[in-house]
Amino acid sequence: MAKPVLRTGHTTDLAIESAERQRKALIMRRDGKTFDQIARALGYSDRGSARNACMAALAEITKEPAEEVKKVALERATWLWSKARRAVITTGGEPAAISAAAKALERLSKLEGTDAPTQHQEVAPALMPDAALIAEYEAELERAKARVN
């Protein structure tokens, strides 16, 4: 019997068989079977292969709900950004409205993946003078104003 040709985007008998075997492995694991028992029962070469099958099945099960959660979060952040932007316009750029808009835009950017990777810098608050802290907040406010306009 010829081996099926795997083509991207197409469901093959081999792919269906593999997914079904992974599903069975996950059910057996849920029912308390060891990876050795799963490997023997389903014909995996060793316990590691049985574990990999369980993990692959679990990843597939959680993939769709995770995508749905991200979609809902994006919708909420987009709505929040539109309301915050409108508040900035209607208040004439009050600091509280600008701060809310900046936070909403930051959240939206993170969810969309358009932000640069976050870099953390340790700063000891007790060593930072109040004037420097105020200047830092003022600079952040100016950056937020620039993004809104």
- pLDDT tens digits for range 27-86: 999 889 999 999 999 999 999 999 999 898 888 877 777 777 788 888 888 898 889 889
Instruction: Kindly state whether residue 129 falls inside one of the protein's structural domains.
Output: yes
Q: What integer pLDDT is reported at residue 59 of this predicted model?
A: 82
Count of domains forming the chain: 1
Q: What is the pLDDT confidence band of residue 3, given thresholds at 50, 70 and 90?
A: very low
Closest CA to 112 of 63, 67, 65, 70: 70
pTM of the model: 0.42
What is the span of the domain harbouring residue 34?
A: 13-115+124-148
Q: How far is 100 from 80, CA to CA, in rounded Å?
A: 9
Instruction: Kindly state whether residue 5 falls inside one of the protein's structural domains.
Output: no
124 vs 105: which has the higher pLDDT: 105
| Backbone dihedral region for residue 144 (phi beyond 0: left; psi -120 to 50: alpha; all else: beta) | alpha
Judged on CB neighbours under 10 Å (0-12, 13-18, 19+), 104 is buried
Instruction: Kindly state whether residue 60 falls inside one of the protein's structural domains.
Output: yes
Orientation of helix 130-148 relative to helix 95-112, angle to 10°: 70
Instruction: Kindly state whether residue 2 falls inside one of the protein's structural domains.
Output: no
Under a CB-based contact definition with an 8 Å cutoff, are residues 108 and 62 in contact?
A: no
pLDDT tens, position by position, 30-41: 889 999 999 999
Instruction: Kindly state whether residue 7 falls inside one of the protein's structural domains.
Output: no
Instruction: Kindly state whether residue 45 falls inside one of the protein's structural domains.
Output: yes
Instruction: Kindly state whether residue 137 falls inside one of the protein's structural domains.
Output: yes
Instruction: Kindly state whether residue 4 falls inside one of the protein's structural domains.
Output: no
Closest CA to 36 of 24, 48, 27, 26: 48
Alpha-helical regions (H) of the chain: 13-30, 35-42, 47-90, 95-112, 130-148
